[in-house]
């Protein structure tokens, strides 16, 4: 289980910096660093076993029936990526501590960073593809927060939205592809899927699955034509850019290509789609990078180019190309993170990232300049640095690749990409650090403290060490990881600086020479580039989004025209069409179950129900009258439940009916008492036809179900297990608090949310324009001169303790007799409602000091803790426990944990009802223009009237 803990540690630890920020910026960074360092230590303890060939697994059943399990596994591929995510993440945390200004909310930054780190770690460690997809989407959401961290910058907000839109859409594509893959393999576990290469590639669904999966990989790793979102993510703080571009976000798509390489690679479709896309991305992005003046923009497009480099290697489908791909993942992470942090240093110390305003910084910033020189030459592929080795190996593979029968396409384009890479890398180094000093720097440049140059220095040291001794510093992890990717014996390869006189050597020499020439003639090339006016993909994307938004607005205006009548017509009409289609395309047979004869009482109740329903339709414009008819419908249904021996349902129905009718009366008091005629005759005919057809369809379906034999009902299980499993003889209550307690828990949460929604909607009703309308509102019905009749006041105060006692009795007996927490909560609410009705809101509220928000919160919390308590004893959530006890006078009695759950239900119901009443009453009070004496009588109707009031 240590592996599962490692997978979620950064997500849990994301709370640490948010809490530690109160102790200062250093404590906040230290908290984030300790979380990452702890994860690194845990990973290091498992690394020797993984490198020795063991695959560490953690399997946790979650929803086995759906194939959704929290399964994790650690193999060399996961180890390499997890090491990069955590190792570079720790360096980024140190760097960010000294990069961010005092105005930046550091607690929020490190919380977002750890959330992102945890999401990436979950991707590389997940064994279940459904779990992987959850982490995949979490990277999109957390990167949205990081990219838009400087929310005051419009480009930051736009970059975050663009990244979320592109990668989110790709995530939907990936979901479809992986679901197909799991369906073919018969399992959603990656370890099982990776063993079914033959079945997957032989399936007719292989190509659809491949295209969908590549859609997710290409969007996440910014492959052409989805490359444009990545450079616009540069509006994020530099620590974010360095992390996203080196070891995390954009590498997720490459990781997925490597992870699924054993089952997807090796086909013509894989080669043509993946290798071609990677090659095109490599060349196009490199060309754009050469003409970017913003340092981070240049590095961003260089990242896109190198991601194309990696995609092309994995797309070739050969084992040796996969080895090179694994090696370059490591190399790219080292020099690219170092370069991004270096760009941040330049911006931080010189005050600009504009190449046109920089130059001659090496003498002013020798440490930063040295680090940039080493990392930049590695990115250019200059020996003896690590980037040279993987570039040389890539060119060797490209020289042997034939594309659609043409042996020259791949070597030429790969060499072109390498040439442009040399040009933009040398431009970064030379145009920033060499040349004459300037006298117009925005700030006086100087080397920063070790907090800023230390992290890139660590990575730059790796660049040199891997370049000089690749077999020692990278050989073991490359061999183990490449073996995990290929899933077979490794081919022969050599990680060394010298591979002899090969075509790749001449291609590399050509790339360096021509790349240097391109830099020399950069101004001329830049003028040509400007005249050509290559359209930016961002502009095309913005135009597409605007067109789509305009079309959506037109559709919305036509469909969503604020007519509830139209919406219901669409819903009911669709249901009718689907029902009729099913009816006419299926065989039918009459049910054989014997029909029970209707008694005169049942017939009368049915006629009353029909008459009241028709009356609601006919009198719907008179709102109070229609509400009365609705109450008749509800009361008739309650009597029907009682007649059919369902007392719990009858009690619930009548209680809900009383509460809702009273609240609706209060709400309708503020609305016009009649509604205008809104329907023409044709529309009424249409609505009537839909209503009759839909009603007959539902009735026919119910009749068909109830008249058929052989149907297995779950009710027998509940009858047989209610007492033995739940400790109660009231089957309905045991179902609510035990068998389906989770449903009830969800329902009280929804009830609380509904009450809070009423509070939010009405909270501003007495302010602003709404408040002005209320101030000018006059009642449209004659009001009674006696607002609070003395008889009603006295009666309700006498009834209050009796009603509360009845509610308590219903609550306590609910486990074995009709009753329970929900009904008791409604009875308590009715008892309190009577006080507000009789004595007025002011008087009652002054005496009922309970906070309604707290009642809802405590109700949900108590119910939830009851469920968690059962889990502590190894039982499923909300499983109830019960036992019998005996006292000398009382005798034997039962105690069940379900009572605590019912307490939560009752508190939530009371809180929700009273919160709704409070808001409605507050708005009503604001609307009513009462005389001062009437206000006084409302607040305290029990006081003695003054002599003046008696005379009047």
DSSP string, 798-834: HHHHHHHHHHHHHHHTTTTSS--HHHHHHHHHHHHHH
Residues whose CB is less than 8 angstroms from the CB of residue 934 and which lie 6 or more positions away in sequence, other chains included: 787
Residue 168 lies in a domain: no
For residue 225, cis peptide bond before it (omega within 30 degrees of 0)? yes
| φ/ψ (deg, to 5) at 442 | -60, -35
Q: Are residues 694 and 735 in the same domain?
A: no
CA distance 478 to 324: 9
Task: Tell me the three state secondary structure of residue 257.
Answer: helix
Clarify whether residues 744 and 669 are in a common domain.
no
Instruction: Tell me whether residue 64 is in a domain.
Output: no
State how far the Cα of 751 lies from the Cα of 914, in Å rounded to an integer: 12
DSSP string over 382-429: -TTSHHHHHHHHHHHHHHT--BTTBSSHHHHHHHHHHHHHHHHHHHHH
- Confirm whether 385 is domain-assigned: yes
Q: What is the pLDDT of residue 930?
A: 41
Given this model, what pLDDT does residue 504 score? 87
Task: Report which of 847, 825, 826, 824 is spatially closest to residue 835, judged by C-alpha positions.
Answer: 847
Q: Which residues share a beta bridge with 882?
A: 896
Note the Cα 417 to chain centre separation in Å: 38
- On whether both 738 and 694 belong to a single domain, the answer is no
What tokens were used for 541? 């994307």
Residue 806 and residue 674 in one domain? no
Picking from 520, 543, 569, the residue at the C-terminal end of a domain is: 520
d(CA 259, CA 193): 11
**Are residue 408 and residue 509 in the same domain, yes or no?**
yes
CA distance 603 to 730: 29
What size, in residues, is the chain? 952
Q: What distance, in Å, lies between the first and last C-alpha atoms of the chain?
A: 81
Question: Measured between alpha carbons, how far is 729 from 818 in angstroms, rounded to an integer?
Answer: 10
Domain membership flag for residue 85: no
SS3 category, 469: coil
> And the tokens for 469?
């001794």
Within this chain, do residues 735 and 688 fall inside the same structural domain, yes or no?
no
CB proximity list for 175: less than 8 A, separation 6 or greater: 133, 216
User: Is residue 54 a part of any domain in this protein?
Assistant: no
Task: State whether 398 and 448 are in the same domain.
Answer: yes
Whole-angstrom distance, CA of residue 417 vs CA of residue 396? 14
Question: What is the spatial distance between Cα 244 and Cα 237, in angstroms, rounded to a whole number?
Answer: 11
Structure tokens at 418: 């390498």
Same domain as 774, residue 669? no
Q: Which residue, 698, 721, 747, sits at the end of a domain?
A: 698
Whether 7 maps to a domain, the answer reads: no
> What pLDDT score does 809 carry?
92
* Digit-coded pLDDT (tens) for 208-231: 999 999 999 999 998 988 888 888
Collapsed DSSP state (helix, strand, coil) of residue 751: helix
Number of structural domains in the chain: 3
Domain co-membership, 912 together with 852: yes
Asked whether residue 690 falls in the same domain as residue 739, the answer is no
Assign 213 to helix, strand or coil: helix
Inside any domain, residue 380: yes
Residues of the chain with pLDDT under 50: 930-952
Q: Assess if residue 578 is contained within a domain.
A: no
Q: Are residues 653 and 749 in the same domain?
A: no
Q: Which domain holds residue 650?
A: 598-698
* β-strand pairing of 72-74 with 68-69: unpaired
User: Residues 305, 421: one domain?
Assistant: yes
Q: Looking at 520, 553, 582, which one is the last position of a domain?
A: 520
Collect all residues with Cβ–Cβ distance below 8 Å to 46 and sequence separation of at least 6: 2, 3, 6, 56, 74, 79
Distance CA 824, CA 648 (A): 11
């Amino acid at each position: 289980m240590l592996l599962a803990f490692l997978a979620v540690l950064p997500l849990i630890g994301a709370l640490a910096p948010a809490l530690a920020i109160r102790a200062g910026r250093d404590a906040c960074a230290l908290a984030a660093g300790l979380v990452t360092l702890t994860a690194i230590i845990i990973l290091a303890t498992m690394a020797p076993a993984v490198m020795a060939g063991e695959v560490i697994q953690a399997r946790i059943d979650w929803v086995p029936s759906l194939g959704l399990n929290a399964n994790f596994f650690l193999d060399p591929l996961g180890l390499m990526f997890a090491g990069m995510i955590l190792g570079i993440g720790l360096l980024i945390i140190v760097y960010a501590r000294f990069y961010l200004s005092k105005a930046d909310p550091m607690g929020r930054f490190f919380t977002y960073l750890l959330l992102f780190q945890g999401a990436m770690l979950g991707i590389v460690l997940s064994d279940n593809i459904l779990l992987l997809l959850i982490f995949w989407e979490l990277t999109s959401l957390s990167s949205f927060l990081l990219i838009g961290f400087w929310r005051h910058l419009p480009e930051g907000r736009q970059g975050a939205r663009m990244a979320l839109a592109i990668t989110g859409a790709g995530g939907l594509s990936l979901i479809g592809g992986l679901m197909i893959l799991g369906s073919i393999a018969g399992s959603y576990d990656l370890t099982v899927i990776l063993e079914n290469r033959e079945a997957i590639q032989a399936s007719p669904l292989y190509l659809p699955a491949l295209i969908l999966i590549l859609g997710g990989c290409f969007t996440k790793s910014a492959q052409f034509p989805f490359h444009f979102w990545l450079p616009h993510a540069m509006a994020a703080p530099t620590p974010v850019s360095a992390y996203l571009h080196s070891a995390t976000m954009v590498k997720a798509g490459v990781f997925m290509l490597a992870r699924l390489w054993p089952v997807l690679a090796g086909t013509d479709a894989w080669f043509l789609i993946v290798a071609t896309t990677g090659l095109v991305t490599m060349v196009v992005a490199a060309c754009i990078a050469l003409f970017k003046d913003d340092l981070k923009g240049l590095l961003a497009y260089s990242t896109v180019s190198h991601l194309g480099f990696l995609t092309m290697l994995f797309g070739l489908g050969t084992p040796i190309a996969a080895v090179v791909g694994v090696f370059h993942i490591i190399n790219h992470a080292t020099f690219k993170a170092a370069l991004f942090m270096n760009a941040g240093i330049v911006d931080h110390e010189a005050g600009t990232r504009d190449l046109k305003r920089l130059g001659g910084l090496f003498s002013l910033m020798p440490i930063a300049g040295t680090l940039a020189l080493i990392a930049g030459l590695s990115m250019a592929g200059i020996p003896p640095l690590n980037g040279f080795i993987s570039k040389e190996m890539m060119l060797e593979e490209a020289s042997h690749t034939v594309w659609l029968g043409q042996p020259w396409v791949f070597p030429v384009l790969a060499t072109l990409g390498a040439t442009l890479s040399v040009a933009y890398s040398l431009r970064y180094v030379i145009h920033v650090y060499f040349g004459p000093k300037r006298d117009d720097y925005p700030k006086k440049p100087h080397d920063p403290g070790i907090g800023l140059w230390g992290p890139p220095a660590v990575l730059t040291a790796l660049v040199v060490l891997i370049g000089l001794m690749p077999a020692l510093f990278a050989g073991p992890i490359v061999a183990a990881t490449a073996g995990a990717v290929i899933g077979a014996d490794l081919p022969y390869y050599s990680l060394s600086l010298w591979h002899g006189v090969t075509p790749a050597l001449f291609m590399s020499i050509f790339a360096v020479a021509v790349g240097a020439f391109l830099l020399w003639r950069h101004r001329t090339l830049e003028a040509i580039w400007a005249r050509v006016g290559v359209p930016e993909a961002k502009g095309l994307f913005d135009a597409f989004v605007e067109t789509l938004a305009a079309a959506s607005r037109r559709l919305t205006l036509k469909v969503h025209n604020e007519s509830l009548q139209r919406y219901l017509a669409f819903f009911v009409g669709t249901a009718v069409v689907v029902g009729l289609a099913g009816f006419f395309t299926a065989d039918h047979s009459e049910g054989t179950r014997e029909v029970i004869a209707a008694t005169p009482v049942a017939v009368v109740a049915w006629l009353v129900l029909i008459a009241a329903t028709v009356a609601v339709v006919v009198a719907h414009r008179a709102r109070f009258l229609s509400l009365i008819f609705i109450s008749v419908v509800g009361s008739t249904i309650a009597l029907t439940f009682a007649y059919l021996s369902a007392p719990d349902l009858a009690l619930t129905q009548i209680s809900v009916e009383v509460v809702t009718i009273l609240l609706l009366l209060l709400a309708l008091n503020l609305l016009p008492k009649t509604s205008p005629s809104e329907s023409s005759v044709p529309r009424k005919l249409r609505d009537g036809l839909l209503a009759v057809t839909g009603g007959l369809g539902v009735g026919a379906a119910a009749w068909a179900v109830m008249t058929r034999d052989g149907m297995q009902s779950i009710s027998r299980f509940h009858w047989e297990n209610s007492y033995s499993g739940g400790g109660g003889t009231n089957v309905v209550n045991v179902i609510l608090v035990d068998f389906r307690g989770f449903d009830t828990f969800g329902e009280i949460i929804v009830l609380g949310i509904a009450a809070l929604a009423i509070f939010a909607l009405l909270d501003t009703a007495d302010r602003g324009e709404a408040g002005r309308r209320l101030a000018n509102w006059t009642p449209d019905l004659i009001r009674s001169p006696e607002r609070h009749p003395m008889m009603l006041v006295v009666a309700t105060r006498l009834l209050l303790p009796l009603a509360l006692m009845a509610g308590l009795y219903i609550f306590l007996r609910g486990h074995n007799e009709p009753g329970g927490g929900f009904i008791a909560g409604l009875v308590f609410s009715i008892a309190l409602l009577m006080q507000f009705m009789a004595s007025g809101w002011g008087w009652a509220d002054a005496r009922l000091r309970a906070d309604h928000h707290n009642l809802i919160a405590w109700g949900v919390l108590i119910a939830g803790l009851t469920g968690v308590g059962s889990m502590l004893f190894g039982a499923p959530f909300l499983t109830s426990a019960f036992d019998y006890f005996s006292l000398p006078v009382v005798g034997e009695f039962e105690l069940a944990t379900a009572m605590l759950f019912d307490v939560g239900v009752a508190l939530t119901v009371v809180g929700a009802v009273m919160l709704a009443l409070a808001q409605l009453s507050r708005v009503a009070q604001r609307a009513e223009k009462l005389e001062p004496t009437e206000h006084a009588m409302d607040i305290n109707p029990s006081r003695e009237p003054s002599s003046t009031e008696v005379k009047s």
